[in-house]
Homo-oligomer: A and B are copies of this chain.
Amino acid sequence: MAVSPTQATQSDVVDAIRRDILDGELVAGQRLVEAELSEWLGASRGAVRGALIDLTHEGLVERIANRGARVRVVSIEEAVEIIEVRAAVEALCAAKAAEKITDEEIAELRQLGEDMSAAVASGDVGTYSRLNTRLDERFIAISGQKVAAETIARLQGRSVRHQYRLAYRPGRSQISLPQHLAIIEALARRDPTAANRAVREHLASVLDAVREVASSRWEPSGGR
């Protein structure tokens, strides 16, 4: 999108392309020609090339030797798998977090819970969605599990496009809010087992919703 006045560095390019993919500016399957992006972003071709390689490792871009890069298409099946893995790892984090959470952090999460309730009550889906993400990030950080955090971050990007549709489905907030509050309460009670289960139940529900959206999108689209 924005072309900066100064020369863009490689990590700038990575961020820019990643954002465009996540925002849907670059659609799945679209070709990513190095020379084009280079001019588009005001960076050297080398930088763009390196960025595409990085994004390939993140799973957002697909590269075939001598045949260029395209935005990776993640099938519903793959999205489901990603959420299943995330469920397993996040549940681990939740259990660990419940064991080492401090009083201040509990207060912080409770506040977060109230904000979420308020956002849902006022129908502000955008804010609610952002608070969701924050809750995830917070309890993963609290768990102190760096490897798990890195693993989840890696997977996050790939599934975000599929989860995006979800947030704005009517009634979705009402389903997920109590689940999020349950996670918070389990952490506040310092109950690892309950926290583990609460996270799993939440992601199982997300999974159902993703599958449902998938099947409901079978008919309208007629594309390749």
Of the candidates A53, A85, A89, the one having the most CB atoms from chain B within 10 angstroms of its own CB is A85
CA distance A92 to B89 in the complex (A): 10
A91: nearest chain-B partner, CB-CB = B88
Q: Is A57 an interface residue (CB 8 A)?
A: yes
CA distance A147 to B82 in the complex (A): 6
Write the residues of chain A forming the contact surface with B, with a CB cutoff of 8 angstroms. 50, 53-54, 57, 78, 81-82, 84-85, 88-89, 91-92, 145-148, 151, 154-155
Is B81 a contact partner of A148 (Cβ separation < 8 A)?
A: yes
B residues in contact with A155, CB < 8 Å = 147, 151
| Cβ 8 A contact of A84, one of B53, B78, B85, B92 | B92
How far apart are A107's CB and chain B's nearest CB, in angstroms? 27
Is B146 a contact partner of A85 (Cβ separation < 8 A)?
A: no
How far apart are A87's CB and chain B's nearest CB, in angstroms? 8
A77: nearest chain-B partner, CB-CB = B146
CA distance A91 to B89 in the complex (A): 11
